[in-house]
Amino acid sequence: MGGRGSLLLPGGGRARLRFSVAMSSPEIASLSWGQMKVKGCSTTYKDCKVWPGGSRTWDWRETGTNHSPGVQPADLEEVVKKGAQTVVIGRGMSEALQVPSSTVDYLKKNGIEVVVLQTEKAVEEYNALAARGVKPLQRRNIFRNNFCCAKQKTND
């Protein structure tokens, strides 16, 4: 990801800098019923979205998501905009969260590979992909950007 920055110099001068930052996908450090920890993040998540360089709570209320009909394209717009090439979706520990074909089609139409698994398996797959993409902008392979959308509790 390219960027622009400013360097403040003594005497009030400025120098313009151009820089490139290769962000790796953070590892999911631990998973248990109702709790997920992302490496390098102090937050304990119930549900989360993870992408190269960050993570955040996945708040179902933002898009009106529920177990059925499940994950909607609106839940994934954020990661599509971030340039994800592979999306791993966890369906919950008991696989109660649905992933409709329309959601899978939405990702595929955007050129994104989709993997849908039970949450524990999704985390294993995501971590394996993230490990292969440590320097995503230099490796330039299909796992350059990975995203995990993982659901924990199934009794919401």
- Per the DSSP assignment, residues forming a β-bridge with 82 are none
Nearest in space to 120 (alpha carbons), one of 60, 58, 35: 35
pLDDT digits (tens, 9 = 90+) for 64-120: 999 999 999 999 998 888 878 888 999 988 999 999 999 999 999 999 889 999 999
Nearest in space to 103 (alpha carbons), one of 74, 81, 145: 74
pTM assigned to the model: 0.72
pLDDT digits (tens, 9 = 90+) for 26-54: 888 998 888 889 998 899 988 888 888 88
